[in-house]
C-alpha cells in the first residue's frame, strides 16, 4: 500500500543517486523545451507565420518525433527508478549507463538530422533510408538508426537490472505481477503497485526493444550491403511493434506517479485489489499484441493478425485505465486535499491520459481509421495523452521532489499562474489538431492550403502558451532540484500538506 507520509525517508536522495537523478530530470525538462520549440516552429510554418523550407520542416519533424518520445521515456524511466528502488535493489551503474547511452544516442540523432540532413521521420521505413533522392546520405540514415540502438540498449540494461532486483525479492516476475492472486489466495496489502506496474513494463517493453533492435540491425545491414534485400511488410511490422510499445511504456511507467503520490495528497489509502492485478495482467498481454492497429491498411498482412489488432485495440488500455481511474476517483472523493502543484498535475494527468486514450481507441477502429488516419486527428490524440497525460505525470513527480527539499508541496504564485497557462494552452493545441482532423486536414504536410490554416493559427497560439509555461516549469524545477535539501527529515515530512498549510 502506498505510503501516506508526504516525504518518507526511503525516498530521500543523497550523493551519486541524487546527482544522477537530477541529471535525468534537468536533461528531460531542457529537451522537452527544445522539442516543443521545434513543434511550435512547424505549426507556425503551417500557419504561414514563418517560412521554414520544406526540407528543414521534415528535419524538424524527424527530430521532434524521435526526440519527444525518447525524452518522455527517459523522464518516466526516472519516475520508475525513483519509486521502485524503495522496494528492490537497483544498481546505480545501470541507471547511469542508461543515461549515458541515451545522451550518446541523442547526439547521433541530432547529428544525423541537422548535419547529415536525415529527414525520413522516426519510422525509418524501408527502403526510404537508402532512397533519399539525394537529400541525405546512407551514412546519415545509419547514424540515425545507431542512435536508436544506443537508446534502446540503455533502456534494456536498466530493465534487466530492475528485473534482477525484482526477482531477488519476489522470486519471479509472475509473483511480482501478482499472478498467484488472480484466482484466489489472501492478497498481501503491502504488495507495491509500483512493483506490479514496473514488472509489466519490463516484460512488455523488453520485447518491443528487442523487436526494434532486430529491425534496426536488419536496416543497417541493408544500408551498407544493399544486395541484402528486406521484406518491406515484415520490416514495417517490426518497426511499429517497437514504436508502439516504446511510447506505451512511457505512459505506463508514468502512471506509477499516481499510485505513489495521490494518496499522500488526499490523505487516504489506495489499497491493492484483485481487480487491480487483473487489470495489469491483462494489459501486460494486450499491450504486446495491440500494435497491428497501425497496420490496418496493409491489406497484405495476415487477416487474423489485423482482426486481432482491431479487437485488442478496443480492450488493451481499458483494464489499467479503468482500475487506475476508479481507484484514483475513489481516492479523490471527499478528500481533504489542498491543491498544490503536484496534486493539480496528478489530476490533470488522469484527464489527459483518459481523454487522449479515448481518441486513440476511436482512431484504431477500422471504419474511423479509413477516414481519419492520414489527417491531423492522429497527432491530436497522441499529443493529448503525451502533453496533458504523460508529461503531467512526470512534472508532478519533479514538483514533488523539489517540495521534499523544503518539506512542503510547491505552490507559489507563479506556479498558480503557470499551471492554467499550461492547461489552457495544451487544450487549445490538441483540440486544434483534433478539429483539423475532423476537417480532413492532412498530417505531415509542410505547406498547407489557405483553407487549412485556421486551425494551424489557433494551434500556434496554444503552442506558444505551452512553451511559455514549460520554460517556467523547466527553470523552476532545475533550480529546485539543485537547491540543498532542508534538514528536518521524516519529522517535517509527516506533517505533509498540513505543514504546508501552517506555513501559509
User: What residue numbers bound the domain in which 479 lies?
Assistant: 1-52+351-504
Mean pLDDT computed over every residue of the chain:
89
Query: What pLDDT was estimated at residue 130?
Result: 85
200 and 132 assigned to the same domain? yes
- Whether residues 277 and 382 share a domain: the answer is no
Short-list 235, 365, 206, CA closest to 300: 235
Residue 1: per-residue pLDDT: 55
Residue 451 lies in a domain: yes
Give pLDDT, residue 198.
96
Judge if 182 and 330 occupy the same domain: yes
User: Do 292 and 215 lie in a common domain?
Assistant: yes
State the pLDDT at residue 123: 86
Assign residue 446 a region (left: φ > 0; alpha: ψ between -120 and 50; beta: otherwise). alpha
Among 466, 473, 459, 468, which residue's Cα sits nearest to residue 42? 459
Whether 15 and 149 map to the same domain: the answer is no
My answer on whether 299 and 226 are in the same domain is yes
Last residue of a domain, one of 308, 334, 360: 334
How does pLDDT run across 420-473, given as a tens digit for each residue?
A: 999 999 999 999 999 999 899 998 888 999 999 999 999 999 999 999 999 999
Model confidence at 488: pLDDT above 70: no
The pLDDT of residue 327 is 82
What pLDDT was estimated at residue 496? 41
CB 200 within 8 A of CB 276: no
On whether both 468 and 376 belong to a single domain, the answer is: yes
- Are 155 and 218 members of one domain? yes
- Note whether residue 182 is domain-resident: yes
Nearest to 161 by CA among 255, 104, 105, 81: 81
Tell whether 63 is covered by a domain: no
The average pLDDT across 107-130 equals 92
Q: Does residue 494 register a pLDDT over 50?
A: no
Kindly state whether residue 342 falls inside one of the protein's structural domains: no
Q: Which residue has the cell 512534472?
A: 395
Same domain, 112 and 225: yes
Ranges 5-14, 83-92, 284-293, most confident: 83-92
Cell numbers 499491450 correspond to what residue?
287
Same domain, 294 and 211: yes
- Does some domain include residue 67? no
Q: How many domains does the chain fold into?
A: 2
Q: How far is the C-alpha of 8 from the C-alpha of 16, rounded, in Å?
A: 19
- Rounded to whole angstroms, the Cα distance separating 87 from 330 reads 25
For residues 169-177, average pLDDT: 94
- The verdict on 291 and 176 lying in the same domain is yes
Rg (CA), the chain: 22
Distance from C-alpha of 447 to C-alpha of 462, rounded to nearest angstrom: 20
The verdict on residue 25 lying in a domain is: yes
3-state secondary structure 256-298: HHHHHHHHHHHCCCCCCCHHHHHHHHHHHHHHHHCHHHHHCCC
pLDDT at 2: 61
Lowest model confidence (mean pLDDT) among 310-314, 366-370, 487-491: 487-491
Average the pLDDT over each of 31-45, 193-207, 237-251, 327-341 and give the range with the smallest value. Answer: 327-341
**CA 260/CA 397 separation, integer angstroms:** 10
Asked which of 83-92, 320-329, 341-350 is least confident by mean pLDDT, the reply is 320-329
Is 259 within the bounds of a domain? no
CA–CA separation, 125 vs 120, rounded Å?
A: 8
Q: How many helices (H) and strands (E) does the chain have?
A: 19, 0
Within this chain, do residues 169 and 92 fall inside the same structural domain, yes or no?
yes
Reply yes or no on whether the pLDDT at 495 is more than 60. no
Compute CA distances 439 → 161, 329, 344, 451, whole Å.
48, 34, 33, 10
pLDDT in tens, 278-293: 999 998 998 888 888 7
The pLDDT-based confidence of 28 (bands split at 50, 70, 90) is very high
Query: First vs last Cα of the chain: how many Å apart?
Result: 30
For residue 487, what is the domain's CATH number? 1.20.210.10
pTM assigned to the model? 0.91
- Given 304, 334, 364, which residue is the final one in a domain? 334
Q: Examine residue 61 and state whether it is found in any structural domain, yes or no.
A: no
Amino acid at each position: 500500500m502506498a505510503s501516506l507520509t508526504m516525504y518518507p525517508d526511503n525516498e530521500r536522495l543523497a550523493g551519486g543517486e541524487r546527482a544522477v537523478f537530477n541529471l535525468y530530470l534537468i536533461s528531460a525538462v531542457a529537451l522537452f523545451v527544445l522539442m516543443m520549440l521545434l513543434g511550435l516552429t512547424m505549426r507556425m510554418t503551417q500557419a504561414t507565420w514563418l517560412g521554414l523550407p520544406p526540407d528543414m520542416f521534415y528535419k524538424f519533424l524527424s527530430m521532434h518525433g524521435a526526440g519527444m518520445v525518447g525524452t518522455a521515456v527517459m523522464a518516466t524511466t526516472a519516475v520508475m527508478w525513483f519509486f521502485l528502488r524503495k522496494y528492490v535493489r537497483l544498481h546505480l551503474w545501470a541507471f547511469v549507463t542508461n543515461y549515458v547511452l541515451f545522451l550518446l544516442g541523442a547526439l547521433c540523432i541530432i547529428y544525423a538530422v541537422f548535419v547529415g540532413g536525415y529527414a525520413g521521420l522516426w519510422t525509418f521505413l524501408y527502403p526510404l533510408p537508402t532512397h533519399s533522392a539525394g537529400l541525405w546520405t546512407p551514412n546519415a540514415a545509419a547514424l540515425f538508426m545507431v542512435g536508436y540502438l544506443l537508446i534502446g540498449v540503455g533502456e534494456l540494461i536498466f530493465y534487466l537490472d530492475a528485473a534482477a532486483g525484482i526477482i531477488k525479492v519476489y522470486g519471479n516476475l509472475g509473483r511480482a505481477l501478482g499472478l498467484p492472486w488472480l484466482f484466489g489466495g489472501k492478497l498481501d496489502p503491502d504488495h507495491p503497485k509500483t512493483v506490479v506496474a514496473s514488472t509489466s513494463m519490463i516484460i512488455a517493453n523488453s520485447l518491443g526493444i528487442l523487436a526494434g533492435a532486430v529491425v534496426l540491425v536488419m536496416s543497417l545491414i541493408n544500408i551498407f550491403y544493399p544486395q541484402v534485400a528486406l521484406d518491406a511488410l515484415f520490416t514495417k511490422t517490426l518497426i511499429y511493434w517497437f514504436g508502439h510499445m516504446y511510447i506505451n511504456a512511457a505512459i505506463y511507467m508514468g502512471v506509477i506517479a499516481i499510485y505513489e503520490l495521490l494518496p499522500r495528497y488526499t490523505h487516504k489509502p489506495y489499497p491493492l485489489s484483485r481487480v487491480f492485478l487483473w487489470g495489469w495482467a491483462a494489459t501486460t498481454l494486450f499491450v504486446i499484441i495491440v500494435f497491428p492497429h497501425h497496420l490496418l491498411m496493409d491489406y497484405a498482412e495476415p487477416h487474423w493478425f489485423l482482426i486481432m489488432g482491431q479487437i485488442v485495440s478496443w480492450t488493451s488500455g481499458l483494464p489499467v485505465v479503468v482500475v487506475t481511474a476508479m481507484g484514483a476517483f475513489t481516492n479523490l472523493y471527499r478528500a481533504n486535499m489542498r491543491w498544490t502543484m503536484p496534486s493539480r498535475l496528478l489530476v490533470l494527468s488522469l484527464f489527459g491520459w483518459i481523454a487522449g486514450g479515448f481518441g486513440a481507441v476511436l482512431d484504431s477502429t477500422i471504419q474511423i481509421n479509413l477516414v481519419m488516419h492520414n489527417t491531423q486527428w492522429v497527432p491530436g490524440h497522441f499529443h493529448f495523452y503525451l502533453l496533458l497525460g504523460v508529461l503531467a505525470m512526470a512534472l508532478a513527480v519533479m514538483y514533488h521532489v523539489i517540495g521534499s527539499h523544503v518539506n512542503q508541496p510547491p505552490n507559489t504564485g507563479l506556479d498558480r499562474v503557470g499551471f492554467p497557462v499550461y492547461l489552457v494552452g495544451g487544450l487549445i493545441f490538441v483540440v486544434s489538431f483534433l478539429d483539423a482532423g475532423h476537417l480532413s486536414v492532412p498530417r505531415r504536410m509542410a505547406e498547407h492550403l489557405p483553407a487549412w490554416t485556421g486551425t494551424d493559427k489557433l494551434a500556434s497560439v496554444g503552442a506558444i502558451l505551452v512553451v511559455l509555461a514549460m520554460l517556467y516549469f523547466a527553470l523552476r524545477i532545475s533550480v529546485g532540484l539543485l537547491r540543498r535539501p532542508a534538514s528536518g527529515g521524516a519529522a517535517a515530512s509527516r506533517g505533509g500538506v498540513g505543514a504546508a498549510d501552517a506555513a501559509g
